[in-house]
Structure 1
Amino acid sequence: MNLLKFFLKRFFSAIFTLFLISTITFFLMKAIPGGPFSKNEKLSDRVRESIEEKYHLNDPIHKQYLDYMAGLLKGDLGPSFARPGVEVSDLMKQGFPISASIGGFAILMVILIGVPFGIIAAIKQNKAPDYAISFLSTLGVCIPSFVLATLFIFVFCYKLNILPSNGLDSWKHYIGPVVALGGFSLAFVTRLTRSSMLEIMQQDYIRTARAKGLPESVVLFKHGLRNALIPVVTYIGPTVAAILTGSFVVERIFALPGMGKHFTDSVGNRDYTTLMGATIVFAALYLVMILIVDVLYVVIDPRIKFD
């Protein structure tokens, strides 16, 4: 029953949050001077007015808002102003799988490399592996993703010419975007796992487990790691949403037709509906990941209750 109450409470909270995000995004877009067709100097005033009337952009702001929210309830994100005859939902369906495929590999890299490296650094504290891992993770945290992407293309694509710089035609095309997209998170998770493990290993219950003569592997992984993973899961949850939707800059640098391309193009073209659609998709995924993180808390540490 507590589980059901928890899910219902969080579900309605997420719906309300998504409603607020949609409302704020809508009015912020409308507050921007100009319109989606104002930049096209080839259009006469009469033609522009006719197009705006077709898309109901001349309607009062409250009517536009109610119409948009009514369509949103039906899963309709509206038409794209920059691409005549194309629905925003179709653009999201085209772009999200590409962003998600790159993001999925990046998440695997972050978890499968970042967590073990953090554990090794904690176990080998103040030794050569710890110094090496700490140095690399600190360097990774300091380098932004767009800088890492640019350096990757310069070194591996142009200087060494061993990897492609754009497209997703083979597994080699994924290496650059995955490394650039997950580099920062990999370094951060490594540092977070290390510091969390060091803190947990100093707790009284860890000393008690060792005093009972339990094998060190049991002490580390059964008693230490499970509790140390709580802050790591807290960070990874929302990060998964960000990575799955793709880094807009990274996708742009590697010329990938993911959500990042649609988002950046919509900003330049003032394509309100596409921009709002991408924002809503990201917000919905973010809220889902927060809910999953809350459930994982209980799985990792049974002492945490849904109450």
Structure 2
Amino acid sequence: MRSLAIRLARTAATIFGLVLVTFVLLRLAPGDPAELRFADPTQAPGPSALEAVARFREAHLLDRSLPVQFLQYLGPFDLSPRGHECFGGTGEHRWNGLLALDLGHEYLRPSVSIGSELARRLAVTLPLALVSALLAFALAVPLGIAQALRRGSAFDLLASLVTLTLYSTPVFWGALLLLALFGPAGLGWFPVMGSQAFETFGGAVRHSVLPVVCMSYGALAWISRQMRSAVLETVQQDYVLAARARGLPERAVVLRHIVRNSLLPTLTLVGQVLPWLVGGSLVVETVFEIPGMGKYAFDSLERREYDAVAACVLVSGLMTLAGLALSDFLYARFDPRLRHVER
């Protein structure tokens, strides 16, 4: 019970630190959402535009100090002019902020709820990340096992070279290369652009091939290297040598003793890969014009939508923490040594 309380306290402190750092960095970044909304590039701002900017900044507390803005963002009370009566507001909108489970509305599109928009974007990003993670594990685990069992062979050297190249290839460069090779300008095998295609299932599948490949190749290389190292370590264990000394068939030794025990360290990667892919989807979704959370974060950053960007960062952080907790749970569940200690 004490360890659970400590873990929860650390998680809460991590979330608060993430929220605070994200808030400060966004507010210190150059640019002003009020000026972006009311700016007219064809002419100099007149008195009416300056007055509209001032009203906008006052309504969203952008003219107040950073501590006041942070309290407004954190909640649960609304400190704006139409907020809670205890803080001089009209009482029209009493509750606001993260503690009130309110992510707010966009600056440039006031009718758009950030929470609703984020949920809609996650419905696109999560399936892509899940399929990418499944593809990466399905290919990386047998590849790592085969490399370890054929250590030093030509296959091992070639596979190591390929995985090292994939792991070293930046995602943005890989995405542009896939566009050039398989897009309309290249072989024309797959459509690659346009958010309209994700409105139908068939269009979503065809448009998802290249993004899934782009999102999964880095994870595939990383997982296969981890799996290879785990198998090489397991092969040297005494129980493997004892199994071979008892005359067990090599197939039984590999499947029952080597592979089964080598999968335990890989379990820690299960909960980490999916949040990593979701959080790293920004580049892929931007290049392929996919209307997911990564593209939403990028577009929001360009428009200085502070709360929208902070919401995307918060979701990525929460998924990472959940992934780490899942990894710990899986390791404790399937490792007999930890189960023995708990008993």
Global fold match (TM > 0.5)? yes
CA distance in 1, matches of 2:141, 2:189: 29
Secondary structure of 2:33's counterpart equals coil
In structure 1, the partner of 2:267 is: 233
Is residue 141–residue 227 contact of structure 2 (8 Å, CA) maintained in 1? yes
8 Å Cα contact 1:37/1:48 also seen in 2: yes
8 A Cα contact 1:80 1:86, kept in partner: yes
Distance 2:332 2:255 in 1: 17
Measured against aligned partners, the alpha-carbon deviations of 1:65-97 in whole angstroms (never above 9, x if no partner) come to 122112202221111113222121112111111
Aligned partner of 2:182 in structure 1 is: 156
- Counterparts of 2:280 and 2:113 in 1: how far apart (Å)? 21
Q: Which of 229, 253, 270 is 2:287 aligned to?
A: 253
SS state at 1:80 partner: coil
- Contact map agreement 2:269 2:327 (CA 8 A) in 1: no
What corresponds to 1:103 in structure 2? 129
Q: One-letter code of the match for 1:138? A: L
Listed as ranges, the gaps of 5+ residues in structure 2 are 76-96
- C-alpha root-mean-square deviation of aligned residues, in Å? 2.1
Give how far 1:236 is off: 4.2
AA in 2 matched with 1:160: L
Identity across the alignment (%): 30
Name the CA shift for 1:14/1:50 in 2 (closer, same or farther; >3 Å).
same
Correspondent of 1:147 among 173, 179, 192: 173
Q: Is the 8 A contact 2:148 2:228 kept in 1?
A: yes
Match of 2:300 in 1: 266
Q: Does residue 1:204 correspond to 2:231, yes or no? A: no
2:68 alignment counterpart = 63
Amino acid at match of 1:54: A
What's 2:214 paired with? 180
1:291 matched to 2:325: yes
Matched residue, 1:113: 139
d(CA) in 2 for partners of 1:55, 1:140: 45
Match among 48, 55, 64 for residue 50 of structure 1: 55
Partner residue, 2:13: 16
Q: CA deviation at 1:226?
A: 3.6
Q: CA deviation at 1:46?
A: 0.9
Cα deviation for residue 140 of structure 1 reads 1.0
1:202-229 Cα offsets, whole Å, 9 max, x none, are 1222212222233333432333234323
Question: Which range moves more in the overlay, 4-13 or 106-115?
Answer: 4-13
Distance 1:86 1:9 in 2: 38
CA contact (8 A) 1:246 1:259 kept: no
Larger radius of gyration: 2
Aligned to 1:138: 164
One-letter amino acid of the structure 2 residue matched with residue 59 of structure 1: R
Contact 1:110–1:185 (Cα < 8 Å) also in 2: yes
**Aligned positions of 1:276-287 closer than 5 A:** 276-287=310-321
Cα drift, residue 182 of structure 1? 0.8
TM-score computed with the length of structure 2 as normaliser: 0.82
| Partner Cα distance (2:264, 2:146) in 1 | 18
Tell me which of the two structures has the higher relative contact order, counting C-alpha pairs closer than 8 angstroms and 6 or more residues apart: 1
TM-score normalized by structure 1?
0.91
The corresponding residue for 2:33 is: 36
